[in-house]
Structure 1
Amino acid sequence: MWQSKGKMGERQNVEGRKRCLSFAFSTFNIRHSIFIMLAHYTYIFLAPHLDDVVLSCGGQIAQYTQAGETVLIVSITAGNPSLDNLPPFAQAHHISWALDEDAVAGRRR
């Protein structure tokens, strides 16, 4: 877990050891956006799925926000699934729950 304190581009982990994060992005806009994000948030959590950070770090995030720290959660893969690519077990549940692709997408909004 990284805490964004100190100079731009320099971060400290929770134990206080300094680490340098480098980003290899090809366009200025992406790199600029990341540095703005790092400047405005004390903690940034990256989640491969929508519920990963909440389930694994929810208590810690609650403590940070109650202490007045700024927290950002970035979900990396939040696309709408195609029902055709679901395994038969999941397809059966979607059918029994009367969920089609539009209903799944609507619940994510």
Structure 2
Amino acid sequence: MPVASFEEIQSRIGTEIGVSDWIPIDQQAIDTFADVTGDHQFIHVDPEAAAKTPFGGTVAHGFLTLSLLSQMAAGVMLIPPTIRMAVNYGFEKIRFIAPV
């Protein structure tokens, strides 16, 4: 994680701080997430049935996408040098506006 002073972090409020690397999501990852969460809705785990939907194939779970935010943020999140530990405080106004 990039290190930055509190002042630098404060000056960047409202600006883009970076873009993460791409994270490939294959059907095996989707199926594993379905097994862990118990969400086996066909749109996620049945490629044949999902192909007949407007999406044209399976769609990753919204919460699978959300669960990757920690990994995506790790490379771009600015951390003050005096911080030894941080916790995820949560998110506000999360919406799944496009299929993945």
Which TM-score applies when normalising by structure 1?
0.25
Write 1 or 2 for the structure with the bigger share of strand. 1
Larger Rg: 1
Which TM-score applies when normalising by structure 2?
0.27
Q: Relative contact order (alpha carbons < 8 A, sep ≥ 6): 1 or 2 greater?
A: 2
